[in-house]
Amino acid sequence: MRFFKYTGLGNDFVVVRAEDVPATLDAVALCDRRFGVGADGVVIVRPLGGNAYEMRILNSDGSVAMMCGNASRCVAKFIRDRLGGDGNAFDLHTLSGVVRTEIRADGLVRVDMGKARDFLGAISLRTDGREFSAETVSMGNPHAVIFTDDAGAVPLEKWGAALEHDSQFPDRCNIEFAQALSREKIRMRVWERGCGVTAACGTGSCATFVAAQKRGLVGAGAEIVLDGGSLFIERERDDASVFMTGAAREVFLGEI
């Protein structure tokens, strides 16, 4: 199988053309960082005609992801550079709906992530003898955003793993710990359901920004500082789409 390795701020993916995918595709084996290619997920891309493409995502544990912001940016670059896509704007059909991407002149990719919505509102979460107040936001996948005074000090591997499986989340949940540095900048670290700790999360950055807007911590746009780099998130008003802008690049290609 021929594959292409892409990264969006350290959130990395094995990207495969649909016609190259074998019937026995094993996402867990492909994503293994010692015995496979190594990645946070596998992305399968299929042309639908014109500027429309289907994007299907498998997490590193083999589960299906409804949507992924960082993968969307990577796939936009993949379509243009490897599939001969015409122009710089592509519509990606995901299990959560259509995501519109545009590759800018500076090489960054801007993505219309659609509208955010609450799915549980503000909730309390408990683990390790601690209680947290979380804002729940859906960006086509579920997120629980917890604001803290020091995101860097959070034992993310411990708390994220436990909170992902909280009884309030029958389908599990992505967990973000965020720290407001200013009205223009938020530090965030993420535990992704089905993946664990990742260097970046596009939908998580959008969810964190929306949660910060709800609390009056930011205005219409802010930089989200992740372990792997920064994303810029914008939303003009509560009922408007959330826009994400950030880097994506090809790392290598090969056969397995």
DSSP secondary structure letters along 52-98: EEEEEEEETTSPEES--HHHHHHHHHHHHHHS--SSSEEEEEETTEE
Write 81-86 long-range contacts (CB < 8 A, 24+): 81/250, 82/4, 82/17, 82/250, 83/17, 83/45, 83/47, 83/53, 85/51, 85/53, 86/51
**For residue 116, which amino acid is it?**
A
User: Does 68 participate in catalysis according to the annotation?
Assistant: yes
User: Does 31 participate in catalysis according to the annotation?
Assistant: no
Residue given tokens 């973000």 in the structure block: 176
Q: What is the DSSP letter of 241?
A: P
Q: How many CA atoms lie within 13 A of 100 on its CB side?
A: 7
Q: Which of 31, 68, 74, 195 is catalytic?
A: 68
Q: Which of 31, 74, 195, 201 is catalytic?
A: 201
Token pair of 93 as six digits:
């059909």
Give catalytic residue positions: 68, 201
